Chain A
């Protein structure tokens, strides 16, 4: 699987999760630009290949997503609620993505935790997706320790 296929799978995963679980109808991909202060969740995964996943939502997007997910008034949500929802969103997007790109293997996700948006210590293959969510911004990145191997199809020949 090449990088553009992983990029495409990441886009599909973000869109699928937001549409079905957060009731967000349309994602507008946007160009790379600096994001405002927000919440970053990170998790690692074992699989073929292993790697890590990071998701950042600026404060506007995080509050909007948490309100949609919990069916709550945005003004009533605490910072802990926002952090929990961003962590859960990261877990769902990463799981959905790995199910698309590592469909023939079994993977295991670590528990998502909060991270610094500036911490970019990961190396390897990278795919990222940035989009508008309501009036805010979302940035998702996956780091793969090596390229995804194509599934070997057994042939009778």
Chain B
């Protein structure tokens, strides 16, 4: 048993890093999908169910804010928790994205255990 996670980030090296950190953290990862922007993420979500979405903010085509807006108005996809991963740790930005529907926020730089605990919190995984 493990969780299916979608990573949306326009940086291939950042997607690789996030995937590796999830694996290193000990999080129960069953399958990991990747998207280079919000549009690709939505396309993936049409064919694959995931348990959580990790998304960057600044992406081409459909950025992280627009992805959160589109998830929020979709009757099916709004149930999937989205966690923003960003370098922007300013209060205004965090409040804005949480108001748009983000369930969690991880600021870069982050430790593997921080990402794991935010994933487990949003998924309701009981603490060990």
B108 on interface, CB distance cutoff 8 Å: yes
Choose among A20, A71, A88, A109 the residue that contacts B58 (Cβ–Cβ < 8 A): A109
The A/B interface has a contact count, at CB < 8 Å, of 72
A59 on interface, CB distance cutoff 8 Å: no
Choose among B12, B16, B89 the residue that contacts A99 (Cβ–Cβ < 8 A): B89
Given A106-B90, A106-B92 in contact, is the A95-B13 Cβ separation under 8 Å? no
A132 on interface, CB distance cutoff 8 Å: no
Q: Which residues of B contact A103 (CB under 8 A)?
A: 89-91
- Size class of the contact patch on chain A: 20 to 34
Choose among A17, A69, A98, A105 the residue that contacts B13 (Cβ–Cβ < 8 A): A69
Interface of A is mostly: helix
| Per-residue interface assignment for chain A, residues 15 to 29, with 1 indicating a CB less than 8 Å from any chain B CB and 0 otherwise | 011011100000000
B122 on interface, CB distance cutoff 8 Å: no
Q: Which residues of A contact B90 (CB under 8 A)?
A: 98-99, 102-107
Interface residues of A (CB under 8 A from B): 16-17, 19-21, 66, 69-71, 81, 84-85, 87-88, 91-92, 94-96, 98-99, 102-109, 111
| Chain A to chain B contacts (Cβ below 8 Å), 21 pairs | A17-B108, A20-B111, A21-B17, A69-B13, A70-B16, A88-B13, A91-B11, A92-B87, A95-B87, A95-B88, A98-B90, A99-B88, A99-B89, A99-B107, A103-B89, A103-B90, A106-B90, A106-B93, A106-B96, A107-B88, A107-B90
Interface residues of B (CB under 8 A from A): 10-14, 16-17, 20, 58, 86-93, 96, 107-111
